[in-house]
């Protein structure tokens, strides 16, 4: 199940990256790079930090073709994309949860401590979007809008708690996925967000 959702998610993330590049008036090469980074950047950073080699997409070149093609295709249908905003929010939520759970599994398989497993899940879930926004010269969306990184954190913790309690992996994945998706969609619908910190005073 996670693999299917993963493929859908990286396609959606690549398309969102292409749109971000378009808003910055990038050329076709820039669109392809931002699409790739958005879709596969989180997993790449996770693998580099954990020492998990070879990096995932290097063993699955089809992923590269998929995300770059999705990014370039977006430049053709961009004028119609605003009609699909709600669909993209759902696909993005699916991707966030799937990436987070996959990141946890990678770290668990390497025998890392619990806190590292959680960080690995969050890296996988949110860092593609962070890289996209940094390359597009804006404050990462995940730090400014509805609960996003917090959802990844909650999913990772829930997954590990249920695993510790002995829940079968398949059931655990399904429960964690459903809970995380519900949490994220409720956050979008209700506009839930963390308190913001604003400091405008200049140093004298």
Q: Is 77 helix (H, G, I), strand (E, B) or coil?
A: helix
- Six-digit token pair at 146? 């509805």
Residue in the structure block whose two tokens are 């996670």: 2
What residue spans define the domains of the chain? 2-190
pLDDT tens readout for residues 158-204 = 999 999 999 999 999 999 999 999 999 999 888 888 888 777 776 65
Phi and psi at 165, nearest 5°, equal -80, 0
- To the question of pTM greater than 0.75 for the whole model, the response is yes
Mean of pLDDT over the chain:
91
What gap in Å lies between CA 19 and CA 16, rounded to an integer?
5
Q: What is the token pair recorded at 23?
A: 């808003």
Show the CA angle centred on residue 92, arms to residues 126 and 165, nearest 5°: 65
Per-residue pLDDT, averaged over 71-99, amounts to 88
- Give yes or no for residue 146 having a pLDDT over 80: no
Tens digits of residue pLDDT in 49-65: 999 999 999 999 999 99
């Amino acid at each position: 199940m996670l693999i299917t959702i993963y493929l859908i998610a990286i396609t959606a993330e690549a398309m969102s990256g292409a749109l971000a590049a378009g808003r910055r008036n990038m050329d076709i090469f820039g669109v392809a790079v931002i699409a790739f980074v958005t879709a596969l950047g989180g997993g790449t950073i996770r693998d580099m930090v954990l020492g998990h080699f070879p990096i995932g997409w290097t063993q699955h070149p089809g992923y590269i073709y998929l995300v770059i093609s999705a990014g370039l295709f977006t430049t053709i249908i961009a004028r119609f994309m605003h009609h699909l905003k709600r669909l993209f929010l759902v696909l993005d939520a699916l991707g966030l949860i799937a990436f987070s759970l996959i990141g946890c599994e990678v770290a668990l398989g390497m025998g890392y401590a619990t806190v590292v497993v959680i960080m690995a899940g969050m890296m996988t879930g949110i860092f593609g979007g962070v890289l996209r926004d940094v390359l597009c010269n804006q404050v990462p969306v995940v730090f400014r809008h509805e609960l996003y990184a917090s959802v990844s954190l909650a999913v990772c913790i829930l997954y590990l708690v249920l695993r510790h309690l002995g829940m079968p992996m398949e059931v655990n994945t399904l429960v964690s996925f459903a809970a995380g998706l519900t949490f994220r969609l409720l956050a979008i619908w209700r506009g839930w967000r963390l308190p913001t910190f604003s400091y405008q005073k200049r140093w004298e």
